[in-house]
Structure formats: structure tokens, C-alpha cells
Amino acid sequence: HWSRICERLKAEVGEVEYRTWLRQITVGPVDEDEITLYLPTRFLRDWVRGQYGDRLGTLWNAEVPAIRRVELQVARPGSASAPLPADGAAAAASAVSEDTPPQPAAAPAPAPEEPRHAEVRSDLAAPLDPRFTFDTFVVGKPNEFAYACARRVAERPSSPGFNPLFLYGGVGLGKTHLMHAIGAELLREGKVSVAYMSAEKFMYRFIAAIRSQSTMEFKEQLRSVDVLMIDDLQFLIGKDNTQEEFFHTFNALVDAGRQIVVSADKSPSDLSGLEDRLRTRLGCGMVADIHATTFELRISILEAKASASGVVVPAKVLEFLAHKITSNVRELEGALNRLIAHANLFGRPVTLEATQDVLHDILKAHDRRVTIEEIQRKVAEHWNIRLTDMSSARRARAVARPRQVAMYLAKQLTSRSLPEIGRKFGNRDHTTVMHAVTRVTELMEQDPAFAEDVELLRRMLES
């Protein structure tokens, strides 16, 4: 189980994050519904608990449904089965529930909460991450439409035209964040019952219900919620029986005037492998696309997260990160988190040099992506000019503008210095490159169509 969970985690958080934090985990004993995981230091334990506690709980629960809680403890490396007595006790004493809240029937001990009208259907759903709210979601051009739709659904679920709400976009662009935010908002308002789960969990639950011959119960539970949110629907591709079940649940809920929110990595029409009738119904409400981040949005996100951390991160460093790590917000966050952890650990100020040092491996991984030659080729193709004109002395606008864009992209997407970039463009001076970067930035602000062209090129080069 653990090696499968590790594979999943690696895919989700990236190799570097995985190696820095998660590889240090060793698996301890299982006690009824709780599994113990060991980390070598208190710092690592707190960090992993804060960053990955919920996710570990969810993944374990998906692998082994009987496990409902993950306990993180400190243990000496190499003696995973024997936690340090003092710290182990402290860890146990401060242990918080990492996963699903205790179920009413199973845990009568703690004082029951005040009855609320709103509830997360914990018998059914995954817990909501308290960090993912509308307040902590940074809005910009690429996500403002999806954000507005999510807000609208949270305010008035089941409004005509917004049911189902279908959110789609690439990895790490905020789909899960928005879904959790909808859930949190609805619960705060206290009007409805909400169930959120990944499509994967939906399938596991469905299969478990078949095994234990309780599919009726499962269906009833599902159909009793006011708002059902299913994340990463693309997971159901090729899982025909689960798709069928989801389709029926979907219809029953929508017909009963309940709200459905679904996310996927592609639009309904591009989700080939999902049944046609399901795709059709998914596209019937509101379909909202989250686009790749822009530089401005990445800066805003970094600023928000840095200021929330309390560590002073200079604007130069934030700009550097926003230039270098363009693929997804999760990676950007991961890089910033590592910087902040280092600053806290060693008490040193965050500088550009320190950043390059601490994030050496991440930055290298992002560099390998694209070469200046590739950029020149793609840009020349896009504007239909000859590749040789990237280095030629011609100054006609039809040639000079694409050349400037290529320089701009070279600066953004590679770690080459201005003089190095200049050399690749027919031995031009570094000030020419600098001018190109400024000019393209200005033009992108003035001319949305041009900005879109450049963003498109960037996206093509990055994928």
C-alpha cells in the first residue's frame, strides 16, 4: 500500500518535494482505524503534518478504507518502530485528527457539537481543507470566470444555468481549491449538506459498497445531499460501471433540484472516454475554464503566500520565482514553502543567491524544458518568418517584433543571461535584449490580442 501511496504522492507533489519531505517517512503499526507514520525529526513531522497530513489521510483511506486516521510521530532514523519516548509522547498528546472527523456512531466520547443545519457528510465525503477558501484564492484574469461561477454557486446553489458547474483546467491551477471553497462557504452559511470527494474515492466507495452488498445505502446517502462535488472526473475514463453509477446519481440529484459541481482536466467535449450521454449532461450547466497562470497572477499568489507566512521575501525573489516556475501553482507554492522553511530553520534572510542555492534542483528541472533554439523556431513558425531572421540584421517590423518576442520568451523560460541570449540572436548586445523584454511587456499590456499570442506561445513551449 505504502509504495503505491508514495507513487501517487510523487506524482502529485513532484520529485523534489517528495524527496525533501516525504521520503523520510517510515510506516509504523496500524491500530484499529489509525496508522502511525514516523519522521526523523520534530520539524519534519510538523512540516509534513501541516502540508500533507490531510492528503496522507485521504490516500491511506483510499488504499485501505478501514484506516481513518493518520498519526505522525517522531522516531530515530533506522529505529522506526521505537519512537523517542519523550517526543513520542508529546506527539501523541498534541495529535490532531488528520483525516475524517470521528464518525458519530464510532466515537461517542467527545462532547457532541451543537447540531448544525449545515453538515459535511463525513460518512460519505472527504474532509475539506481549511486552507482552501475564497479568501485565500488569488483572483486574476486566468481564473476570474471560474472564481465568479464558484462564488455564485456557493451563494445560490442550484440556480438555473449553473447546474452542473463544470470546472476544468490543467494540474495545480486551483480546481480543488475552488471546490473546497464552495463547500466551506456553504457550510459557513449553514444552509445545506455538502459532500465533496474525488472521482477516485467515489469509485472506491462504490466498489466497497458492492462488496459489502450495501449499494442501496450508498445510493441513498449520495442522493440525500444538497450539493455533491466530484473532483478529477477524468479518473472515471475507462471505469464504465462507476461512470454508469455516477450518471444515475447525477441525474437523480439534478432532477431533485440539487447542485452538482464537477472538475476535470479537460472540457466535457474533450473528455473522450466518458460516455456521450454523460458528457452531454455535464456540459448542460455552466462550464468554466481555468487558464494557465500569467506572470502577474503568479506574483500576486506568491505575495499573498509570502505575507501569510510572516517571512520577508524580497520582491526580486518573488519575481525570479514567478519567471522561472510557470507550470503550476502547486510547484510555485512548493518552491516558496521550501524557501520559507529554510529561512525559519537557519534564520537567514531570503536573498536571490540563497534562493538559487536552496532551489537549485527545482530551477534546473525548469530550465531543461526549453532551449533558445526551440523558442526561435516556434516563434518564427507562428509569425511565418524565416528562422534565419532571428539572427539577421533586418529591422522591418514584421521581423523585428517576432524577434523581440523570442528574446522575451528566452529571458522568461530559460536561465540564460542577457548577453548569452543576445549572442544567440546574431550577436546582439545585451541592452537590445533588455529593450526587447521591456517593449514586449508594454505591448502585452496595451494589446490583449498580442498578449494572448505571446501567452499561447509560452504555453506551447512549456508543454
Q: Is 161 labeled as ligand-binding?
A: no
Q: Is 14 in the site for ligand ADP (CB under 6 A)?
A: no
Q: Whole-number minimum distance, CB 138 to ligand ADP, in Å?
A: 4
Q: Is 239 annotated as a binding residue?
A: no
- Minimum CB–partner distance for residue 258 and ligand ADP (Å): 23
Which range in 26-34, 75-83, 148-156, 168-176 contacts ligand ADP by CB under 6 A? 168-176
Maximum Cα–Cα distance for the chain, whole Å? 80
- Say if residue 14 carries a ligand binding annotation: no
SS3 assignment, position 312: coil
In terms of residues, how long is the chain? 463
431 sits in which H/E element: helix 430-446
**C-beta of residue 234 within 8 angstroms of C-beta of residue 171:** no
Q: Contacts with Mg ion: how many residues (CB under 5 A)? A: 2
Backbone angles phi, psi at 171, to 5 degrees: -65, 135
Residues 270-329 that bind ligand ADP (CB under 6 A): 301, 329
C-alpha angle 354-350-14 in degrees, rounded to nearest 5: 70
Residue 295 burial by CB count (10 A; 0-12/13-18/19+): exposed, middle or buried? middle
Q: State the nearest-atom distance from the C-beta of 401 to ligand ADP, in Å.
A: 31
**DSSP code per residue over 93-148:** HT----SSPPPTTT---SPPPPP-S-EE-TTTSPPPPTT-SSTTPPP-GGGHHHHH
Q: Which residue is nearest to ligand ADP (CB)?
A: 174
The reply to whether 355 sits in an annotated binding site is: no
Rule CB under 5 A: choose which of 176, 243, 259, 355 binds Mg ion. 176
Return the H-helix or E-strand segment holding 264: strand 259-264
CB 260 within 8 A of CB 167: no
Q: Return the range that interacts with Mg ion (CB under 5 A); candidates 6-14, 25-33, 170-178, 360-368.
A: 170-178
How many residues touch ligand ADP (CB under 6 A)?
A: 17
Measured CA to CA, the distance from residue 122 to residue 117 in angstroms comes to: 14
Near ligand ADP by CB under 6 A: residue from 40, 53, 127, 172: 172
Q: Is 138 in the site for ligand ADP (CB under 6 A)?
A: yes
Q: Which is nearer to ligand ADP, 138 or 209 (CB)?
A: 138
Query: What does the DSSP assignment read for 367-407?
Result: HTT--HHHHHHHHHHHTT--GGGGTS----HHHHHHHHHHH
Sole binder of ligand ADP in the list 157, 174, 268, 285 (CB under 6 A): 174
Residues 332 to 361 in contact with ligand ADP, rule: CB under 6 A = 333
334, 340, 344, 350 alpha-carbon torsion, rounded to 10°: 140
Q: Which stretch binds ligand ADP (CB under 6 A): 107-115, 175-183, 209-217, 427-435?
A: 175-183
Nearer to Mg ion among residue 176 and residue 355 (C-beta): 176
Q: How far is the CB of 331 from ligand ADP (least distance, A)?
A: 9
Residue stretches of the annotated binding site: 172, 174-176
Contacts with Mg ion by CB under 5 A lie at 175-176
Residue stretches of the annotated binding site for ATP: 172, 174-176
Contacts with ligand ADP by CB under 6 A lie at 132, 136-138, 143, 169, 171-177, 301, 329-330, 333
